[in-house]
A and B are shown apart, each in its own frame.
Chain A
């Protein structure tokens, strides 16, 4: 008998008390919880997102289509970035004003190469207001997972209010589990020293979020 059969056999013997007529999944799990916490207008939801992002030390900016390229340029310059990593489908106009060298994310590039890039600019798939969370799903304006991980400075552009949802349940509804997903809530942090939160370990230590719309 192989281990698969052995384990499944053990499970079945252990569940001898479970009868075949048990309630199916749909009835066994009550969903007596809220789809979202509180009533908010679209504008208020964006405000809450900004507030919760900032609470976990993300730096939040708000802008419109006209000002976006200038803002990106200013943020890269303020960080002293000479090179910026660019996902393949990032809208070109976002970088129209900066003279930082664009580094495309080529599959052949080693992680070591990306480690020498100062900043990365990405879009996002969904943002969650209640938790201050950005979700990236590897779409062309976000690139493969490593691009938002290795550079120390991540600028994430969120289209508001379209990409913003209130809650975790609403976010999961919008996401495709077949895609590789990264949920980001503030810059890298740890609570490992005396259970006290400190920002800045392995992921980007500076997370700037541009709410754009």
Chain B
């Protein structure tokens, strides 16, 4: 599998490629518009949505502010219920732990439930390097895996593929991985789902090791929750003898009761359903029901660094519903791959640069992958103010300053390529502090307005390449105000 995100170009280059692809744009437009209207209807059914959203925000904030305490409580509850807890500071450590656990079972293949955390740490690649084959069992993940592709959406990783493309991938690739697709496979979604059912059935029935993530972990009880649609999650969580769950440390909620909020907001926000078809909840192990061994791998991998940023930490409230992707005008046009991360769209634009730092070209460009329209904030079921964090991260990229990387305080240097922006901001600050100079400048601009170019020269070209320069009025506002006493003289 060569499907990783290493060495991605900055967002603008990647997005330029994507917007030139009419099939991709058509697929994304169709899918995001379908789900938008449905989500609005599902949310509209609940008259107390605002109260649920606020409760969700506060539960997550409270948990994050006492995360050390809740992590210790969770560890205790899971252990008491018969599970084993492992701690992984980064992706490499998590992959090593999982690989060793699988090896200890003597198995060379595992079945996987869709999980963002294991995508993030590139677990499948690590397992492959150790000679272990990981089978993705979520339909969209299967499409991505068979197509040697990369995920482009949190909920529906193959959203960039239409039914015809999916049919071709199944017909071509299934034989390489196991049971081939039926000879007469059509492109109707029901037929495609049936092909996936047949292909994966034998894998579920013989699997000895399952790997999952989790949507929620309850500190008080040690319960893990996986929310899904197809039943592949139930297969992986109950049929194997060993279950390994890799979960980000921010997925904790304090109490059992807290689930009453998220089990109402998550399904309506993500698939626009009153309730998703299947939700599994398990607490450690149960005699003669499900796996005999349960391992929980708690993953940091940049989350504590994100927590250290008092503005940016709100991104850790995310419950991965993907409502922000579906409403985002930038995501709709650029698609998920341009974000260079398993977390695309608005949430990805604030999560990836915090989890990975702003050192790479792609991560430094992500805070700019937005028009700041605020639709993402509006739909977010835990009220993450994504525009606020975007602006905060832009400042970090341009100005540099203190941050935390891998648990250590570092001083970030201002990014290259923003010299003109910094100079312009300095000039603006000076001009606004000197009213005489501002007035003279405005008058000069008004008198020469016919001579103004339509695009900026030099370093400003990049800025005006995608934007119209604001039109300068014939007379500065303050001159007009003084001359007409605010329009009272009738002279316009």
Contact = CB atoms under 8 A, between A and B. Distances in A.
Interface in B79-125: 81, 87-89, 93
A65 interface: no
Contacts of B318: none
A169 B283 contact: no
A192 B55 contact: no
A34 B46 CA distance: 9
A198 B193 contact: yes
B263 interface: yes
A78 interface: no
Contacts of B59: 29
Contacts of A132: 274-275
B338 interface: no
Interface in A76-119: 107, 110-112, 115
Nearest to A22: B65
Contacts of B204: 111, 202
Contacts of B47: 34, 37
B281 A32 contact: no
Contacts of B17: none
A186 B88 CA distance: 37
Contact of B278 (A9, A169, A177, A188): A188
Interface string B257-271: 111110110000001
Interface in A162-207: 168-169, 172, 177-198, 200-204
A130 interface: yes
A8 B303 CA distance: 12
A202 to B, nearest CB: 4
Contacts of A149: 231, 234-235, 238
Interface string A1-23: 01110111111111101100010
B186 interface: no
A177 to B, nearest CB: 4
A63 B310 CA distance: 58
A138 B286 contact: yes
Contacts of B282: 180-181
Interface residues of B, number: 101
Given A14-B304, A14-B308, A29-B55, A200 B190 contact: yes
Nearest to A111: B205
B167 to A, nearest CB: 10
Contact of A194 (B34, B45, B93): B34
B231 A202 contact: yes
A9 B59 CA distance: 22
A178 B289 CA distance: 13
Nearest to A182: B280
B78 interface: no
Query: For the side of the interface on A, what is the size category?
Result: 35 or more
Contacts of A7: 71, 87, 89, 249, 298, 300, 304
Given A8-B72, A14-B404, A168 B264 contact: yes
B280 to A, nearest CB: 6
A177 B256 contact: yes
A107 B288 contact: yes
Given A132-B275, A146-B239, A179 B71 contact: no
Interface centre among A33, A56, A193 (most CB of B within 10 A): A193
B196 A194 contact: no
Nearest to B313: A14
A180 B307 contact: no
B48 interface: yes
B275 A192 contact: no
Given A8-B71, A52-B274, A201 B48 contact: no
A168 B260 contact: yes
B404 to A, nearest CB: 7
A45 interface: no
Interface string B31-47: 11011000000000111
B283 to A, nearest CB: 5
A133 interface: yes
Contacts of B52: 33
A31 to B, nearest CB: 6
B27 interface: yes
B156 A191 contact: yes
A2 B308 CA distance: 21
A18 B63 CA distance: 12
A157 B192 CA distance: 31
B201 interface: yes
B194 interface: yes
A188 B281 contact: no
Interface string B291-324: 0000000101000110110100100000000000
Contacts of B27: 194
B218 interface: yes
A186 B279 CA distance: 12
A159 to B, nearest CB: 21
Contacts of B288: 107, 144
27 contacts: A7-B87, A7-B300, A8-B71, A10-B307, A11-B71, A11-B249, A13-B404, A25-B254, A30-B58, A31-B51, A32-B51, A33-B55, A56-B274, A138-B286, A138-B289, A145-B290, A177-B283, A181-B281, A181-B282, A184-B278, A186-B277, A192-B156, A195-B31, A196-B189, A200-B190, A201-B229, A201-B231
Given A29-B258, A177-B223, A194-B31, 18 more contacts: A3-B87, A7-B298, A10-B300, A11-B71, A18-B66, A25-B62, A28-B62, A29-B55, A111-B205, A149-B234, A177-B256, A178-B283, A180-B289, A185-B275, A188-B230, A193-B189, A194-B34, A194-B159
Closest 5 CB pairs of A and B: A203-B231, A33-B51, A202-B231, A10-B304, A14-B308
Interface of A: 2-4, 6-15, 17-18, 22, 25, 28-34, 37, 52, 56, 107, 110-112, 115, 128, 130-133, 138, 144-146, 149, 168-169, 172, 177-198, 200-204
